[in-house]
C-alpha cells in the first residue's frame, strides 16, 4: 500500500476554481501531482453521471470545485451543483465509497492556497484509504 | 414457408414478464399462428436438453426476461444465444437488472443470512442453507444451480440484439416489438424496440399542466398525499421520474395518480440512469444551502431504491463496491 499513488479527478469551473488552480501553478505553490483537472464552464455542468464514470474508470477520488455561492458566473449553477452533490453523496455512501473520496468545494479565483490545502488533505486521506477496487464487469466477479 | 421459431426464457424475475405475454389476450392467438414456440419453460413442456439438440441459429428470436443470478441462467442464456439468430432482452430485469438487482447492494453471504436466518418469519434451528449438491443415501443426487455473487443484466453475459423495456413491458409495447421483429425490417442492433425515443413527459396527459419552471419545497411520498390527478405530479412534490424515463407506456401510472418510477429506463444518450435522475431531481429542490437541502432530502428515505429501482446492476458502479483489503 506504501507505493499506492491515488488518482484524483478535479472538475473545476472556468470562472473561479480553474483560475485558482492556475494561480497555484503560476505562484509555484507545491501540491501533490496526483490531481487531474478537467475544466468545465460551471459547476452546474457537472452531471453526477460524470462522477460515477470517473470512479468507474479508475479515479480514487473526485473533487468538484465551483465559485462561492452567489458568485457563479451563471447565477444559479453552483446552487444546482450543491443540490446535486448533496444527493449524490447519499448514493455514494450506499455504493460503499468512503466520504473522503468525494468533495465539493467553493474556490474563488484568488484562493489558490485553499485549493492547495484541500489537495494536500485529499491526497493524505485517500492514500490512507487505499485504491478503490471496482470489479471487472465483463465477467461475474467474486463476492 | 416455415414459421419463425420463438423461445422464451426466464432468469431472475418475478414472473410478471411471462404474465405480460399472456396479457396480449386474444392477440396471443395471432402470435401462435405466426410463429412456432419452441421453448417456454413457464408454459410448455420443452426441456433444456431439447434446446441443446437444436441446430445453431435455428431459433429466430429468443426473448429473455430476468437478470443473471444463477449459474443455470448463465448457461441457458448462453445456450439460447448460440441457438438463436436474434436475442432480445425482454423487460427491465434482463435489460438492467430490475428490482432483484437491488440485491447488488449486499454480498451473497448477507443475502443468504438474511433470507435463511434473520428474517423474523424464518425458524431455522439447524442453520440449513441451500446446497448445490445433496446425496440422499447414495440413491439419488439432487442438484441446485450455484447462486452467483452478483446479479447482472444479460448484456454483460451475451450479445443482445434488442431491448424491450418495462416492468413488465405493456401488451402494446410487446406487440409492437413482435411486429418489428417479424417485419424483417430490423432497426440497428442494440436498439430499444416497441417504446418511444422521447421522455415520458412528452406523452403524459399532465404535461400541459406543468409550469415553465418546476421547483419543489417539500418532497412527498405517494402514501402521504392524495394526489390531484389533474395536475403534474412533480409540482405536487411527488418524485416522478418521467422527465428522465423513456416513454412508450402511455403514462399508465400517472393516469392512476402514481408517479413514474422509471421502469422504461434511460433514454439513448444516458450512461447511468440513477445519475441522470438525481441530476434532474436534485436541481429542482428549491433550497440554497446545504443544511436545507439535506433537510429536504431527509424526506426521501431510500434514494438508492428510488433512483436505481430498475437499473442498479447496469449503473456505472454496478452495486456496492468492495474496497481492496488494506
Ligand atoms: S461559473 Fe463557477 S460555479 Fe458557475
Out of B150, B281, B320, closest to residue A95 by CB: B320
Contacts of A88 in chain B (CB under 8 A): 275, 278, 282
Residue whose C-alpha cell reads 429501482 in the numeric block: B309
pLDDT of residue B69: 95
Residue A143 confidence (pLDDT) above 80: no
pLDDT of residue A2: 66
Strand partners, B64: B9, B89
Residue A135 confidence (pLDDT) above 90: no
Residue A141 confidence (pLDDT) above 50: no
Which atom of ligand 1 lies nearest, measured to the CA of A73?
1
B18 touches chain A (CB under 8 A): no
Nearest of B230, B244, B253 to residue B200 by alpha carbon: B244
Which of the residues in chain B have pLDDT under 70? 322-326
Query: How large a percentage of chain A has pLDDT more than 90?
Result: 88
Element (H, E) at A17: helix A17-26
Cα of A69 vs centre of ligand 1, distance in Å, is: 9
pLDDT of residue B273: 97
Out of A91, A97, A141, closest to residue B278 by CB: A91
Taking CB atoms and a 6 Å cutoff, what residues make up the pocket around ligand 1?
A 13, 15-16, 42-44, 66-67, 72-74, 77-78
Burial of B178 (0-12, 13-18, 19+ CB in 10 A): buried
pLDDT of residue A43: 97
Strand partners, A35: A8
Query: Under a CB-based contact definition with an 8 Å cutoff, are residues B260 and A65 in contact?
Result: no
Cα of A44 vs centre of ligand 1, distance in Å, is: 7
pLDDT of residue B2: 84
Q: Identify the structural domains of chain B with CATH numbers, from first to last.
A: 5-99+149-183 (3.40.50.700), 108-148 (no CATH), 200-314 (no CATH)
DSSP alpha helix (H) spans, chain B? 16-22, 27-34, 48-52, 71-83, 92-96, 108-113, 171-183, 252-255, 273-283, 290-297, 303-307
Interface contact flag, B278 A130, Cβ < 8 Å: no
Residue A1 confidence (pLDDT) above 80: no
For residue A46, the tally of other CB atoms under 10 A from its CB is 26
Sheet containing B84-90: give its strands across: B36-39, B5-10, B59-65, B84-90, B162-164
Query: Under a CB-based contact definition with an 8 Å cutoff, are residues A18 and A12 in contact?
Result: yes
Nearest of A22, A127, A43 to residue B279 by alpha carbon: A43
pTM: 0.93
Q: What is the tens place of the pLDDT at every residue in A47-105?
A: 999 999 999 999 999 999 999 999 999 999 999 999 999 999 999 999 999 999 999 99
- pLDDT-based confidence at residue A139 (cuts at 50, 70, 90): very low
Residue A136 confidence (pLDDT) above 60: no
Phi and psi torsions of B70, nearest 5°: -115, 155
Amino acid at each position: 500500500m506504501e507505493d499506492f499513488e491515488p488518482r484524483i479527478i478535479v472538475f473545476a469551473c472556468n470562472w473561479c476554481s480553474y483560475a485558482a488552480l492556475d494561480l497555484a501553478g503560476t505562484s509555484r505553490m507545491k501540491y501533490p501531482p496526483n490531481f487531474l483537472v478537467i475544466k468545465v464552464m460551471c459547476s452546474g455542468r457537472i452531471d453526477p453521471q460524470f462522477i460515477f464514470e470517473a470512479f468507474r474508470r479508475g479515479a480514487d477520488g473526485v473533487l468538484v470545485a465551483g465559485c462561492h455561492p452567489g458568485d457563479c458566473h451563471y447565477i444559479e449553477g453552483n446552487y444546482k451543483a450543491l443540490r446535486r452533490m448533496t444527493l449524490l453523496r447519499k448514493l455514494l455512501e450506499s455504493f460503499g465509497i468512503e466520504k473522503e473520496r468525494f468533495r465539493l468545494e467553493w474556490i474563488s479565483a484568488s484562493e489558490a492556497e485553499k485549493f492547495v490545502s484541500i489537495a494536500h488533505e485529499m491526497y493524505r486521506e485517500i492514500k490512507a484509504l487505499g485504491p478503490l477496487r471496482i470489479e471487472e464487469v465483463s465477467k461475474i466477479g467474486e463476492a | 414457408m416455415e414459421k419463425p421459431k420463438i423461445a422464451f426464457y426466464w432468469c431472475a424475475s418475478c414472473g410478471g414478464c411471462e404474465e405480460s405475454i399472456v396479457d396480449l389476450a386474444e392477440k396471443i392467438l395471432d402470435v401462435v399462428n405466426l410463429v412456432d414456440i419452441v421453448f417456454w419453460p413457464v408454459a410448455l413442456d420443452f426441456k433444456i436438453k431439447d434446446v441443446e439438440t437444436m441446430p445453431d441459429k435455428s431459433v429466430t428470436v429468443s426473448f429473455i426476461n430476468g437478470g443473471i443470478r444463477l449459474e443455470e441462467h448463465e448457461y441457458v442464456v448462453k445456450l439460447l444465444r448460440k441457438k438463436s439468430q436474434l436475442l432480445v432482452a425482454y423487460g427491465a430485469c434482463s435489460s438492467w437488472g430490475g428490482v432483484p438487482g437491488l440485491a447488488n447492494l449486499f454480498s451473497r453471504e448477507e443475502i443468504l443470512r438474511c433470507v435463511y436466518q434473520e428474517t423474523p418469519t424464518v425458524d431455522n434451528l439447524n442453520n440449513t442453507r441451500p446446497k448445490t449438491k445433496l446425496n440422499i443415501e447414495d440413491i439419488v443426487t439432487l442438484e441446485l444451480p450455484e447462486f452467483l455473487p452478483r446479479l447482472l443484466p444479460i448484456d454483460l453475459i451475451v450479445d443482445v440484439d434488442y431491448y424491450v423495456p418495462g416492468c413488465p413491458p405493456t401488451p402494446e409495447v410487446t406487440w409492437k416489438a413482435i411486429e418489428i421483429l417479424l417485419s424483417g425490417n430490423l432497426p440497428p442492433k442494440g436498439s430499444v424496440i416497441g417504446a418511444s425515443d422521447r421522455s415520458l413527459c412528452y406523452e403524459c396527459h399532465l404535461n400541459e399542466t406543468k409550469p415553465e419552471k418546476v421547483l419543489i419545497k417539500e418532497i412527498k411520498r405517494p402514501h402521504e398525499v392524495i394526489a390531484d390527478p389533474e395536475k403534474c405530479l412533480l409540482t405536487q412534490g411527488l418524485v416522478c421520474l418521467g422527465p428522465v424515463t423513456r416513454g412508450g407506456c402511455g403514462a399508465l401510472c400517472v393516469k392512476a395518480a402514481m408517479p413514474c418510477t422509471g421502469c422504461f429506463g434511460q433514454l439513448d444518450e444516458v450512461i447511468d440512469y440513477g445519475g441522470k435522475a438525481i441530476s434532474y431531481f436534485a436541481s429542482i429542490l428549491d433550497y440554497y444551502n446545504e443544511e436545507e437541502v439535506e433537510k429536504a432530502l431527509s424526506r426521501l428515505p431510500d434514494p438508492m431504491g428510488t433512483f436505481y429501482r430498475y437499473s442498479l446492476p447496469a449503473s456505472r458502479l454496478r452495486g456496492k463496491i468492495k474496497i481492496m483489503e488494506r
